Amino acid sequence: MKPEFKKNIVVFIVALIIMFFFIEIILHLTLPAYYGIPPYTFVEDSELDYIPNPNFKGIVVNKEHARNELPVVINSFGFRDKEFVKEKGDVLRLVTIGDSETFPDTLLVEEQYGKVVEVLTNNKVESLNLGVSGYGTLQSFNFFKRVGEQFDPDVVSYLFVPNDISENVQSRYALISGSRVQADWKNKKGMAKVQIFVYRNSFIARELYRLTRSSAVLDTQENPKLNEVNWDMMYNTLQEMQEYFSKEDIKFVVIISPFENEGENKEIESRLLAILNELNIEYINPTEEYIIRGGKEFLRWKYDSHLNSIGHKLLAELLTTHLS
Protein backbone atom coordinates (compact mmCIF):
# COMPACT_ATOMS: atom_id res chain seq x y z
CA MET A 1 0.00 0.00 0.00
CA LYS A 2 1.43 3.35 -1.04
CA PRO A 3 2.20 5.91 1.74
CA GLU A 4 0.02 8.51 0.02
CA PHE A 5 -2.95 6.11 0.02
CA LYS A 6 -2.44 5.30 3.72
CA LYS A 7 -2.32 9.01 4.49
CA ASN A 8 -5.60 9.58 2.63
CA ILE A 9 -7.30 6.79 4.59
CA VAL A 10 -6.15 8.26 7.90
CA VAL A 11 -7.31 11.74 6.86
CA PHE A 12 -10.68 10.31 5.80
CA ILE A 13 -11.17 8.45 9.11
CA VAL A 14 -10.18 11.52 11.17
CA ALA A 15 -12.56 13.68 9.11
CA LEU A 16 -15.33 11.13 9.64
CA ILE A 17 -14.78 11.14 13.43
CA ILE A 18 -14.73 14.95 13.54
CA MET A 19 -17.93 15.08 11.48
CA PHE A 20 -19.56 12.51 13.80
CA PHE A 21 -18.76 14.55 16.91
CA PHE A 22 -19.77 17.79 15.17
CA ILE A 23 -23.20 16.34 14.33
CA GLU A 24 -23.57 14.99 17.88
CA ILE A 25 -22.78 18.42 19.37
CA ILE A 26 -25.36 20.09 17.11
CA LEU A 27 -27.99 17.49 18.03
CA HIS A 28 -27.26 17.84 21.76
CA LEU A 29 -27.57 21.62 21.52
CA THR A 30 -30.79 21.57 19.50
CA LEU A 31 -32.58 18.44 20.79
CA PRO A 32 -33.34 17.03 24.27
CA ALA A 33 -30.46 15.08 25.80
CA TYR A 34 -32.30 11.76 26.17
CA TYR A 35 -35.26 10.08 24.60
CA GLY A 36 -37.44 7.50 26.28
CA ILE A 37 -37.82 6.29 29.84
CA PRO A 38 -35.16 7.79 32.13
CA PRO A 39 -32.78 5.57 34.12
CA TYR A 40 -34.02 4.29 37.49
CA THR A 41 -37.71 4.60 36.59
CA PHE A 42 -37.76 0.88 37.39
CA VAL A 43 -36.03 -1.37 39.89
CA GLU A 44 -35.24 -5.08 39.56
CA ASP A 45 -37.74 -7.62 40.88
CA SER A 46 -37.23 -11.38 41.22
CA GLU A 47 -40.79 -12.27 40.15
CA LEU A 48 -41.68 -9.59 37.60
CA ASP A 49 -38.14 -8.81 36.28
CA TYR A 50 -38.66 -5.14 37.13
CA ILE A 51 -41.26 -2.88 38.74
CA PRO A 52 -41.78 0.90 38.90
CA ASN A 53 -39.49 2.60 41.41
CA PRO A 54 -41.65 4.04 44.27
CA ASN A 55 -41.37 7.84 44.70
CA PHE A 56 -39.33 8.22 41.51
CA LYS A 57 -39.52 11.51 39.59
CA GLY A 58 -38.10 11.98 36.11
CA ILE A 59 -38.72 13.18 32.58
CA VAL A 60 -39.72 11.26 29.44
CA VAL A 61 -38.92 13.06 26.20
CA ASN A 62 -41.43 12.86 23.37
CA LYS A 63 -40.53 15.32 20.64
CA GLU A 64 -43.98 14.87 19.02
CA HIS A 65 -45.88 15.96 22.15
CA ALA A 66 -46.76 19.63 22.61
CA ARG A 67 -45.07 19.54 26.05
CA ASN A 68 -41.93 17.82 24.64
CA GLU A 69 -40.77 16.85 28.14
CA LEU A 70 -43.29 14.81 30.13
CA PRO A 71 -43.01 14.32 33.90
CA VAL A 72 -42.97 10.73 35.10
CA VAL A 73 -43.91 10.44 38.76
CA ILE A 74 -44.16 7.06 40.49
CA ASN A 75 -46.21 7.30 43.69
CA SER A 76 -45.37 5.70 47.04
CA PHE A 77 -47.37 2.56 46.13
CA GLY A 78 -45.18 2.03 43.07
CA PHE A 79 -47.29 2.99 40.04
CA ARG A 80 -47.38 6.00 37.73
CA ASP A 81 -50.13 8.11 39.20
CA LYS A 82 -50.95 10.53 41.99
CA GLU A 83 -51.14 9.36 45.59
CA PHE A 84 -54.27 7.43 46.62
CA VAL A 85 -55.92 6.31 49.83
CA LYS A 86 -56.92 2.66 49.91
CA GLU A 87 -60.49 3.38 51.00
CA LYS A 88 -62.64 4.39 48.04
CA GLY A 89 -65.39 6.96 48.35
CA ASP A 90 -68.74 7.03 46.59
CA VAL A 91 -67.22 6.31 43.19
CA LEU A 92 -66.71 3.43 40.82
CA ARG A 93 -63.04 2.51 41.11
CA LEU A 94 -61.31 1.50 37.87
CA VAL A 95 -57.81 -0.01 37.64
CA THR A 96 -56.13 -0.02 34.24
CA ILE A 97 -53.37 -2.57 33.53
CA GLY A 98 -51.15 -3.20 30.52
CA ASP A 99 -47.81 -2.19 29.01
CA SER A 100 -46.40 1.07 27.61
CA GLU A 101 -49.70 1.79 25.88
CA THR A 102 -51.24 1.99 29.36
CA PHE A 103 -48.26 3.41 31.29
CA PRO A 104 -48.05 5.43 28.86
CA ASP A 105 -44.50 6.31 27.81
CA THR A 106 -45.44 9.12 25.46
CA LEU A 107 -48.23 11.04 27.21
CA LEU A 108 -48.99 12.97 30.36
CA VAL A 109 -50.64 10.63 32.84
CA GLU A 110 -53.74 12.89 32.67
CA GLU A 111 -54.09 11.95 28.99
CA GLN A 112 -54.17 8.20 29.69
CA TYR A 113 -57.54 6.69 28.80
CA GLY A 114 -58.51 5.81 32.39
CA LYS A 115 -57.92 9.39 33.46
CA VAL A 116 -60.04 10.65 30.57
CA VAL A 117 -62.86 8.37 31.79
CA GLU A 118 -62.79 10.34 35.06
CA VAL A 119 -63.37 13.56 33.12
CA LEU A 120 -66.08 12.07 30.91
CA THR A 121 -68.02 10.80 33.97
CA ASN A 122 -67.61 13.99 36.03
CA ASN A 123 -65.40 12.07 38.47
CA LYS A 124 -68.00 9.40 39.15
CA VAL A 125 -65.22 7.00 38.18
CA GLU A 126 -61.85 7.01 39.93
CA SER A 127 -59.06 5.53 37.80
CA LEU A 128 -55.76 4.07 39.00
CA ASN A 129 -53.04 3.63 36.37
CA LEU A 130 -51.15 0.35 36.93
CA GLY A 131 -49.71 0.15 33.44
CA VAL A 132 -46.01 -0.80 33.30
CA SER A 133 -44.00 -0.28 30.14
CA GLY A 134 -42.80 -3.54 28.59
CA TYR A 135 -45.04 -5.88 30.57
CA GLY A 136 -46.83 -8.86 29.06
CA THR A 137 -50.31 -9.99 30.11
CA LEU A 138 -49.09 -12.25 32.90
CA GLN A 139 -46.76 -9.62 34.35
CA SER A 140 -49.59 -7.07 34.30
CA PHE A 141 -51.89 -9.50 36.09
CA ASN A 142 -49.31 -10.38 38.75
CA PHE A 143 -48.48 -6.72 39.26
CA PHE A 144 -52.17 -6.04 39.85
CA LYS A 145 -52.38 -8.81 42.45
CA ARG A 146 -49.37 -7.38 44.24
CA VAL A 147 -50.23 -3.67 44.08
CA GLY A 148 -53.75 -3.08 42.75
CA GLU A 149 -55.79 -5.60 44.71
CA GLN A 150 -55.45 -3.57 47.95
CA PHE A 151 -57.46 -0.73 46.40
CA ASP A 152 -60.62 -2.86 46.13
CA PRO A 153 -61.46 -1.97 42.50
CA ASP A 154 -64.86 -2.43 40.93
CA VAL A 155 -63.49 -2.73 37.40
CA VAL A 156 -60.16 -3.83 35.91
CA SER A 157 -59.47 -3.03 32.27
CA TYR A 158 -56.57 -4.66 30.47
CA LEU A 159 -55.34 -3.00 27.27
CA PHE A 160 -54.09 -5.75 24.96
CA VAL A 161 -51.34 -5.10 22.41
CA PRO A 162 -49.90 -7.76 20.04
CA ASN A 163 -46.47 -7.72 21.77
CA ASP A 164 -48.11 -9.22 24.86
CA ILE A 165 -48.46 -12.56 23.10
CA SER A 166 -44.72 -13.25 23.07
CA GLU A 167 -43.88 -11.37 26.27
CA ASN A 168 -45.98 -13.79 28.34
CA VAL A 169 -43.44 -16.52 27.58
CA GLN A 170 -40.23 -14.49 27.68
CA SER A 171 -39.75 -10.96 28.97
CA ARG A 172 -38.47 -8.58 26.32
CA TYR A 173 -36.62 -6.33 28.77
CA ALA A 174 -34.13 -6.42 31.62
CA LEU A 175 -32.50 -3.81 33.86
CA ILE A 176 -28.80 -2.95 33.67
CA SER A 177 -27.36 -0.04 35.65
CA GLY A 178 -30.86 1.30 36.21
CA SER A 179 -31.74 1.33 32.51
CA ARG A 180 -34.40 -0.85 30.94
CA VAL A 181 -32.80 -2.58 27.95
CA GLN A 182 -33.44 -5.49 25.61
CA ALA A 183 -33.24 -8.73 27.61
CA ASP A 184 -30.45 -10.18 25.45
CA TRP A 185 -28.14 -7.34 26.53
CA LYS A 186 -27.76 -9.17 29.84
CA ASN A 187 -25.51 -11.68 28.07
CA LYS A 188 -23.07 -8.93 27.07
CA LYS A 189 -22.05 -8.35 30.70
CA GLY A 190 -19.48 -5.52 30.87
CA MET A 191 -20.03 -4.50 27.25
CA ALA A 192 -23.70 -3.87 28.03
CA LYS A 193 -22.79 -0.91 30.26
CA VAL A 194 -20.72 0.60 27.47
CA GLN A 195 -23.56 0.04 25.02
CA ILE A 196 -26.04 1.66 27.44
CA PHE A 197 -23.78 4.69 27.85
CA VAL A 198 -23.43 5.14 24.09
CA TYR A 199 -27.15 4.53 23.50
CA ARG A 200 -28.14 6.99 26.20
CA ASN A 201 -25.80 9.77 25.06
CA SER A 202 -25.48 9.43 21.29
CA PHE A 203 -28.34 10.41 19.00
CA ILE A 204 -26.65 8.82 16.00
CA ALA A 205 -25.95 5.52 17.77
CA ARG A 206 -29.53 5.39 19.05
CA GLU A 207 -31.03 5.82 15.59
CA LEU A 208 -28.64 3.28 14.04
CA TYR A 209 -29.59 0.76 16.73
CA ARG A 210 -33.32 1.29 16.08
CA LEU A 211 -32.83 0.80 12.34
CA THR A 212 -30.73 -2.37 12.72
CA ARG A 213 -33.11 -3.72 15.39
CA SER A 214 -36.09 -3.23 13.05
CA SER A 215 -34.25 -4.99 10.23
CA ALA A 216 -33.37 -7.91 12.50
CA VAL A 217 -37.01 -8.31 13.51
CA LEU A 218 -38.13 -8.28 9.87
CA ASP A 219 -35.61 -11.01 9.07
CA THR A 220 -36.84 -13.33 11.83
CA GLN A 221 -38.10 -16.56 10.28
CA GLU A 222 -40.89 -17.18 12.81
CA ASN A 223 -43.16 -14.43 14.05
CA PRO A 224 -43.49 -14.85 17.85
CA LYS A 225 -46.95 -13.25 17.74
CA LEU A 226 -48.18 -16.24 15.71
CA ASN A 227 -46.39 -18.94 17.70
CA GLU A 228 -48.73 -21.62 19.08
CA VAL A 229 -46.92 -21.91 22.43
CA ASN A 230 -47.31 -18.17 22.95
CA TRP A 231 -51.01 -18.34 22.11
CA ASP A 232 -51.52 -21.21 24.56
CA MET A 233 -49.91 -19.08 27.25
CA MET A 234 -52.17 -16.15 26.34
CA TYR A 235 -55.24 -18.39 26.59
CA ASN A 236 -54.22 -19.78 29.98
CA THR A 237 -53.39 -16.33 31.35
CA LEU A 238 -56.71 -14.81 30.25
CA GLN A 239 -58.56 -17.81 31.68
CA GLU A 240 -56.78 -17.37 35.00
CA MET A 241 -57.59 -13.65 35.02
CA GLN A 242 -61.26 -14.26 34.25
CA GLU A 243 -61.58 -16.84 37.03
CA TYR A 244 -59.74 -14.64 39.53
CA PHE A 245 -61.72 -11.47 38.84
CA SER A 246 -65.01 -13.37 38.81
CA LYS A 247 -64.21 -14.87 42.21
CA GLU A 248 -63.29 -11.42 43.58
CA ASP A 249 -66.50 -9.92 42.10
CA ILE A 250 -64.50 -7.50 39.93
CA LYS A 251 -65.72 -6.60 36.46
CA PHE A 252 -62.99 -7.55 33.97
CA VAL A 253 -62.83 -5.87 30.56
CA VAL A 254 -60.26 -6.40 27.81
CA ILE A 255 -59.65 -3.46 25.47
CA ILE A 256 -57.99 -4.40 22.19
CA SER A 257 -55.47 -1.76 21.18
CA PRO A 258 -56.74 -0.68 17.76
CA PHE A 259 -54.75 -1.15 14.57
CA GLU A 260 -55.34 -1.44 10.85
CA ASN A 261 -57.17 -4.75 10.41
CA GLU A 262 -55.10 -6.38 7.68
CA GLY A 263 -52.59 -9.21 7.27
CA GLU A 264 -50.99 -10.29 10.53
CA ASN A 265 -53.14 -7.85 12.54
CA LYS A 266 -56.31 -9.41 11.20
CA GLU A 267 -55.17 -12.91 12.22
CA ILE A 268 -54.17 -11.71 15.71
CA GLU A 269 -57.50 -9.96 16.23
CA SER A 270 -59.45 -12.99 14.99
CA ARG A 271 -57.64 -15.40 17.32
CA LEU A 272 -57.90 -13.09 20.31
CA LEU A 273 -61.65 -12.55 19.78
CA ALA A 274 -62.16 -16.32 19.59
CA ILE A 275 -60.44 -16.73 22.98
CA LEU A 276 -62.37 -13.87 24.60
CA ASN A 277 -65.69 -15.24 23.35
CA GLU A 278 -64.86 -18.78 24.45
CA LEU A 279 -63.89 -17.61 27.94
CA ASN A 280 -66.89 -15.27 28.12
CA ILE A 281 -64.69 -12.24 28.79
CA GLU A 282 -66.13 -8.77 28.21
CA TYR A 283 -64.18 -6.82 25.62
CA ILE A 284 -64.08 -3.59 23.66
CA ASN A 285 -62.85 -3.70 20.07
CA PRO A 286 -62.21 -0.12 18.87
CA THR A 287 -60.83 -1.11 15.45
CA GLU A 288 -63.85 -0.02 13.37
CA GLU A 289 -64.18 3.36 15.10
CA TYR A 290 -60.39 3.77 15.01
CA ILE A 291 -60.39 3.41 11.21
CA ILE A 292 -63.38 5.74 10.84
CA ARG A 293 -61.55 8.44 12.81
CA GLY A 294 -58.47 8.27 10.62
CA GLY A 295 -56.46 5.32 11.96
CA LYS A 296 -52.78 5.58 12.77
CA GLU A 297 -52.37 8.83 10.82
CA PHE A 298 -54.43 10.71 13.41
CA LEU A 299 -54.60 8.49 16.49
CA ARG A 300 -50.97 7.36 16.83
CA TRP A 301 -47.64 9.13 17.08
CA LYS A 302 -45.82 9.03 13.77
CA TYR A 303 -42.32 8.66 15.26
CA ASP A 304 -43.15 6.41 18.18
CA SER A 305 -46.30 4.53 16.99
CA HIS A 306 -48.01 4.49 20.42
CA LEU A 307 -51.53 5.88 20.71
CA ASN A 308 -51.57 9.65 21.11
CA SER A 309 -54.02 11.64 23.25
CA ILE A 310 -56.71 11.40 20.55
CA GLY A 311 -56.31 7.61 20.50
CA HIS A 312 -56.61 7.43 24.29
CA LYS A 313 -59.70 9.63 24.19
CA LEU A 314 -61.30 7.13 21.79
CA LEU A 315 -60.62 4.29 24.25
CA ALA A 316 -61.99 6.38 27.11
CA GLU A 317 -65.22 7.15 25.24
CA LEU A 318 -65.79 3.50 24.40
CA LEU A 319 -65.00 2.32 27.93
CA THR A 320 -67.28 4.99 29.45
CA THR A 321 -70.13 3.80 27.21
CA HIS A 322 -69.39 0.18 28.11
CA LEU A 323 -69.45 0.90 31.85
CA SER A 324 -72.65 2.87 31.65
Residues 165 and 265 in one domain: yes
CATH no. for residue 65?
3.40.50.1110
Digit-coded pLDDT (tens) for 41-50: 999 998 999 9
Give 211's pLDDT tier (boundaries 50, 70, 90): low
Three-state SS string across 254-304, please? EEECCCCCCCHHHHHHHHHHHHHHHCCCEEECCHHHHHHCCCHHHHECCCC
Least confident piece of the model among 80-89, 160-169, 235-244 = 160-169
Residues 102 and 251 in one domain: yes
Cα 50 from Cα 62, distance rounded (Å): 23
Digit-coded pLDDT (tens) for 120-130: 999 999 999 99
**Confidence check: pLDDT of 139 > 50:** yes
Residues whose CB is less than 8 angstroms from the CB of residue 263 and which lie 6 or more positions away in sequence, other chains included: none
Give 216's pLDDT tier (boundaries 50, 70, 90): very low
Residues 130 and 245 in one domain: yes
**Confidence check: pLDDT of 312 > 90:** yes
Residue 58: the pLDDT is 92
**Confidence check: pLDDT of 274 > 90:** yes
- Is 245 within the bounds of a domain? yes
Residues 153 and 246 in one domain: yes
Q: Could you list the residue range(s) of the whole structural domain that residue 4 is in? A: 1-30
Per the model's pLDDT, the better-predicted residue between 241 and 195 turns out to be 241
Residue 31: the pLDDT is 63
How many domains is the chain built from? 2
Residues 21 and 51 in one domain: no
Give 221's pLDDT tier (boundaries 50, 70, 90): very low
Residues 105 and 63 in one domain: yes
**Confidence check: pLDDT of 217 > 70:** no
Residues 275 and 296 in one domain: yes
Residue 12: the pLDDT is 83
Residues 248 and 305 in one domain: yes
Residues 12 and 50 in one domain: no
Residues 271 and 233 in one domain: yes
Residues 86 and 154 in one domain: yes
Q: Quote the radius of gyration of the chain (alpha carbons, Å).
A: 22
